[in-house]
């Protein structure tokens, strides 16, 4: 581990320091807040060392924490909304019913009001709400901006063709993992469905899985993220999925946690290789050639039957049990 060294004005020399987390209290608009900040402490004299970069960092940290505590949207939220609906800051401000300089001011650092934050939050979470805003204020934002935003809105609305269960699972996967490729996402959804079926004798979500050349695939999900190919998915559309996993029940979260803690450690190509050894995929493709495209459905009953066998042999309730199963399959890849 590299050492932190800089000039201490108390010691009057270059000295080693350490970074510590500590809480500070500040009264803002008559209300006391507690914020977590970072301090640089000299290891020689114990005094706090003030660095411009650290001051700037803590100002940013305090701003972010204050907005969260007060339920105010961030500058990043506004930028996501602009990117999500392909709309400039002034047209967006007018579309949401604000003055034309309201969002530009927020983007320059002015603190938004709670009411404006609520409206921006609704626009981020609900395409229906955004559609109503655009149609209501069509004349104010101009025809060109309106048409561009409506085109982007239609892309967002395609997400909601998926079941609530599927949307919740995708939302949870992206909240838990730092990055995920389309290939890995497909396999994680498949394993979550299989383990949930074996545990609770009911599907986690309604969509059927198909036996594609590269393993189990949910066609609608593939269509949404295929442009990323084998790269990690990075898309403004995730803004509308943020927090949507709140609809998931405790049983679903339990299954997703063990799946992400085990299968989620591996890349999509390895997971694909493992699915190629499993009965549901093999049975669904037994009438087609190895590299032939097909939309043959991997029946939920067949998936449940297979994972009941996994349950009986290895167990499916813990990460350790699933890691044993993965290890047994990796050995034959």
Residues 196 and 326 in one domain: yes
Closest CA to 298 of 171, 237, 210, 213: 210
Residues 120 and 65 in one domain: no
44-102 pLDDT, tens digit per residue, is 999 999 999 999 999 999 988 988 888 898 898 899 899 889 999 999 999 999 999 99
- Written in H, E and C, the secondary structure of the chain is CCCEEEEECCCCEEEEEEEEEEEEEEEECCEEEEEEEEEEEECCCCCEECCHHHHHHHHHHHHHHHHHHHCCCCHHHHHHHHHHCCCCHHHHHHHCCCCCCHHHHHHCCCCCCHHHHHHHHHHHHCHHHHHHHHHHCHHHHCHHHHHHHHHHHHHHHHHHHCCHHHHHHHHHHHHHCCCCCHHHHHHHHHHHHHHHHHHHCCCCCCCCEEEECCEEECHHHHHHHHHHCCCCCCCHHHHHCCCHHHHCCHHHHHHHHHHHHHHHHCCHHHHHHHHCCCHHHHHHCCCCCCCCCCCCEECHHHHHHHHHHHHHHCCCCCHHHHHHHHHHHHCCC
- Amino acid 300: pLDDT: 97
Residues 151 and 126 in one domain: yes
Number of folded domains that form the chain: 3
As a whole number of angstroms, the distance between CA 147 and CA 145 comes to 6
Segment 194-211 mean pLDDT? 97
Q: pLDDT tier at 236 (50, 70, 90 boundaries)?
A: low
320-330 pLDDT, tens digit per residue, is 999 999 999 98
Residues 204 and 292 in one domain: yes
- Amino acid 240: pLDDT: 74
Range with the poorest average pLDDT among 67-76, 138-147, 195-204 = 67-76
Per-residue pLDDT for 1 more than 60? no
Segment 210-235 mean pLDDT? 84
Retrieve residue 273's tokens: 């290789």
Tokens 């007060």 belong to 70
Write out the residue range of the structural domain in which residue 103 sits.
75-160
As a whole number of angstroms, the distance between CA 274 and CA 329 comes to 6
Residues 106 and 201 in one domain: no
Tokens 């995708």 belong to 170
Domain CATH for 56 = 3.10.20
Q: pLDDT tier at 159 (50, 70, 90 boundaries)?
A: confident
- Amino acid 2: pLDDT: 67
Residues 197 and 313 in one domain: yes
243-279 pLDDT, tens digit per residue, is 889 999 999 999 999 999 999 999 999 999 999 999 9
- Residue finishing a domain among 47, 70, 93: 70
- Amino acid 160: pLDDT: 80
Residues 152 and 176 in one domain: no
As a whole number of angstroms, the distance between CA 322 and CA 23 comes to 40
Per-residue pLDDT for 229 more than 80? no
As a whole number of angstroms, the distance between CA 110 and CA 170 comes to 33
Residues 211 and 279 in one domain: yes
Among 124-128, 132-136, 173-177, the range of highest mean pLDDT = 132-136
As a whole number of angstroms, the distance between CA 62 and CA 311 comes to 48
- Residue finishing a domain among 27, 42, 70: 70
Residues 181 and 297 in one domain: yes
Residues 154 and 207 in one domain: no
Residues 174 and 303 in one domain: yes
- Residue finishing a domain among 108, 139, 160: 160
Residues 194 and 307 in one domain: yes
């Amino acid at each position: 581990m590299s050492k932190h060294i800089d000039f201490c004005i108390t010691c009057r020399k270059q000295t080693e320091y350490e970074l510590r987390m500590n809480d500070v209290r500040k009264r803002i608009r008559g209300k006391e807040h507690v914020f977590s900040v970072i301090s640089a402490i000299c290891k020689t004299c114990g005094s706090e060392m003030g660095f411009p970069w650290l001051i700037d960092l803590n100002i940013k940290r305090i701003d972010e924490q204050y907005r969260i505590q007060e339920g105010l949207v961030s500058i990043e939220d506004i930028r996501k909304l602009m990117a999500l609906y392909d709309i400039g800051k002034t047209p967006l401000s007018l579309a949401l019913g604000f003055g034309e300089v309201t969002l530009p001011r927020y983007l320059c650092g002015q603190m938004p009001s709670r009411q404006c934050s609520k409206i921006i939050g609704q626009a981020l979470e609900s395409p229906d709400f955004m559609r109503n805003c655009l149609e209501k204020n069509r004349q104010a934002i101009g025809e060109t901006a309106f048409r561009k935003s409506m085109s982007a809105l239609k892309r967002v609305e395609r997400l909601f063709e998926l079941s609530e269960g599927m949307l919740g699972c995708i939302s949870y996967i992206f909240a838990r993992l730092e990055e995920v490729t389309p290939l890995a996402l497909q396999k994680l959804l498949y394993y979550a469905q299989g383990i949930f079926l074996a545990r609770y004798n009911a599907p986690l979500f309604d969509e059927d899985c198909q036996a594609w050349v590269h393993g189990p695939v949910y066609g609608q999900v593939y269509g949404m993220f295929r442009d990323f190919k084998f790269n990690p998915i990075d898309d403004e559309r995730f803004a509308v999925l943020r927090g949507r996993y709140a609809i998931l029940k405790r049983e679903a979260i339990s299954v997703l946690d063990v799946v992400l803690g085990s299968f989620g450690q591996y890349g999509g190509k390895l997971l694909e290789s493992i699915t190629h050894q499993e009965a549901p995929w093999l049975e669904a493709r037994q009438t087609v050639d190895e590299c032939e495209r097909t939309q043959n459905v991997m029946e939920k009953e067949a998936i449940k039957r297979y994972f009941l066998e996994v349950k009986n042999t290895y167990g499916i309730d813990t990460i350790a049990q699933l890691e044993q199963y993965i290890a047994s399959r990796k050995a034959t890849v």
